[in-house]
Chains A and B, each alone.
Chain A
Amino acid sequence: MKTIRLSIIGFGAVGQGVAKVILDKQVYLEKIGIDFKVVAIADSRTAVIDEDGVDLAAVISRKKTEGTVGSEKLTGLEIIETIDHELVVETTPTNIVTGGAGLGNMFMAFKHGRDLVTSNKGPLAMKYGELIAAAEASGSKFLFEATVGGAMPVLNLARDVLAGNKITNVEGIFNGTCNYILTRMMEEHAPYEQMLAEAQELGYAETDPTYDVEGIDTACKLVILANCVFGMNATHEDVTVTGITKITPEALMLAQNDGYVIKLIGEVNDSRINVAPKLVPIDHPLAVGGSLNVASMQTDLSGPITVTGRGAGSIETASAILSDMISIYRD
């Protein structure tokens, strides 16, 4: 049994999801010979630290009832700096203007030679090259499957499973909120504002939906894809972006009459990184409904490969993080 000491920095929906899947998968993890021992958890205000392993169930319940994870006043950054552990799971909220706390946390983890798994897009969309260089310099493993498409495997699929293939184009739906709104607008023949309100009520859209509906979230994911799969050194400023706020129910009906649905499509290839609403034939693999995500990769040897799955959600995103964690330490 290999014991890996880890910290969870950021204890919102995704951080809690990580704690839950580690608990739920104890038997499986034992079978593959890895013991993930969480030695520290931090949220934006408090922390809990225990060298013998934090009681995850107790922390999840405390976070629910009291809104805090513990009584320590250490920040995430201080935990990464001072507590001895191998792996940092970085699940603080995405900020694409400053990089947020995540950016500093990541550099600190690499400075101390710690491995890092993250779901936080902001730092990667801003400073991909610098982060990869810092991780390489310290010999840290750095995986971030959860940043693109939630549970849907995209980066690891392109990098590992499709190894040997040259990927010439990636097209897909990378934002579940937009997909939900467009799908519902078509079903109900209702205007954008009404379906946005419904999405907000159901928790699919934030109170300030700008980040999703203006295509910024999709753009960040494309930047990570472009850098990771196409070897570019792009930032979100290199993406041409059109959101979904101008789409009318009439446009959706006209498209449907011609055999198409309208989806917010992200596209990456050697010549461009682009987010825009596009016409997708109703019977095309990219025409998935509801809040699903989908990605279709054009490869030289295998032709098109398409994957679809849930692009967000606490447990779904945590599943991508767990998969990265296991892939680092399994033999």
Chain B
Amino acid sequence: MRVSMDIELKDIPGQLLLALRPVSEFKGNLISVVHHHEKRTPRGTIPVNVVFETKPDNLNSIISSLEDSDIGIARIDEKRYFEHGAVILIGHIVHTDIQDTIDTIDNTGYAEVVDLNLSMPKIKKPSSASLKIDAVSKEHLASAIELLKEIAKKKDLLVIEPIKSELGAV
């Protein structure tokens, strides 16, 4: 997941290095560092925005390591899902327990169904649905779609997934 963090550094040498070390120690991948040296907080500290990718499990270790070094954390904004995918389902979607279909994706812990549009033209005719799925990474999105295809096979639903180059897994 991607984390954007506003931290506050004391205006003495070596502080930035001290702040970034925990990110690399816990195998985070630094995306950007914006050092607002010209600004000062009312507390006299320098605001810095750090963006990095890390495994969700390591975030707490990074935070406590920063706190141990006496670095103030003003704001943490985590974006867990930054891959979005769409799929279309055709068949008897509602009667084959749509809740169960959605739950299977939501229960993975790495992907969620975030939007559902359903079209049911006539009773007993197959319905069509578009599902939007958010996932932690491209790989996770691909496995969520694979999982959906397995469930769909059991329920005799047709899954229309994005082309391979769209899923980015070429």
CA distance A262 to B165 in the complex (A): 15
Q: A253: which of B119, B127, B158, B163 is its contact (CB, 8 Å)?
A: B119
Name the residue on B nearest A253 (C-beta): B119
Q: Judge whether B163 and A248 touch: CB under 8 Å.
A: no
**A212 close to chain B: CB less than 8 A:** no
**B164 close to chain A: CB less than 8 A:** yes
Q: Judge whether A254 and B164 touch: CB under 8 Å.
A: no
Q: Judge whether B90 and A248 touch: CB under 8 Å.
A: yes
What DSSP secondary structure best describes chain B's contact surface?
strand
Q: Judge whether B130 and A255 touch: CB under 8 Å.
A: yes
**A156 close to chain B: CB less than 8 A:** no
CA distance A5 to B91 in the complex (A): 56
Q: B128: which of A250, A260, A286 is its contact (CB, 8 Å)?
A: A250
Q: Judge whether B117 and A279 touch: CB under 8 Å.
A: no
CA distance A247 to B160 in the complex (A): 9
* Interface residues in B, total, Cβ within 8 A: 23
**A217 close to chain B: CB less than 8 A:** no
Residues of B within 8 Å of A265, CB to CB, are 163
Residues of B within 8 Å of A260, CB to CB, are 86, 162
**B6 close to chain A: CB less than 8 A:** no
CA distance A116 to B88 in the complex (A): 44
CA distance A169 to B167 in the complex (A): 13
Residues of B within 8 Å of A214, CB to CB, are none
Q: Judge whether A171 and B88 touch: CB under 8 Å.
A: no
A280 and B166 in contact, given A248-B90, A254-B119 (Cβ under 8 angstroms): yes
Name the residue on B nearest A287 (C-beta): B163
Residues of A within 8 Å of B72, CB to CB, are none
Q: B166: which of A246, A279, A298 is its contact (CB, 8 Å)?
A: A279
CA distance A168 to B170 in the complex (A): 8
Residues of A within 8 Å of B127, CB to CB, are 250
Residues of A within 8 Å of B121, CB to CB, are 248, 250
Q: A262: which of B129, B160, B166, B170 is its contact (CB, 8 Å)?
A: B160
Q: Judge whether B160 and A278 touch: CB under 8 Å.
A: yes
Q: Judge whether B160 and A277 touch: CB under 8 Å.
A: yes
A169 and B160 in contact, given A253-B119, A298-B165 (Cβ under 8 angstroms): no
Residues of B within 8 Å of A284, CB to CB, are 163, 165-166
Residues of B within 8 Å of A255, CB to CB, are 86, 88, 130, 160
Name the residue on B nearest A285 (C-beta): B165
| A105 → B minimal CB distance (Å) | 37
Q: Judge whether A281 and B164 touch: CB under 8 Å.
A: no
| A166 → B minimal CB distance (Å) | 13
Q: Judge whether B163 and A254 touch: CB under 8 Å.
A: no
CA distance A250 to B90 in the complex (A): 9
Residues of B within 8 Å of A251, CB to CB, are 88, 90, 119, 128, 130, 160
A286 and B130 in contact, given A168-B170, A251-B88, A254-B88 (Cβ under 8 angstroms): no
Name the residue on A nearest B158 (C-beta): A246
Q: Apart from A247-B160, A248-B121, A279-B166, what are 9 other A-B pairs with CB-CB below 8 Å? A: A169-B164, A254-B88, A255-B160, A258-B86, A267-B163, A276-B161, A278-B162, A280-B163, A296-B165
Chain B residues at the A interface, C-beta cutoff of 8 Å = 86-88, 90-91, 117, 119, 121, 126-130, 132, 158, 160-166, 170
12 A–B contacts, CB within 8 A, in A order:
A169-B170, A247-B90, A248-B126, A250-B119, A251-B88, A251-B130, A251-B160, A254-B128, A255-B88, A262-B88, A279-B88, A279-B166
7 smallest CB-CB distances across A and B, nearest first, come from A250-B119, A251-B128, A250-B128, A254-B130, A279-B162, A278-B163, A258-B86
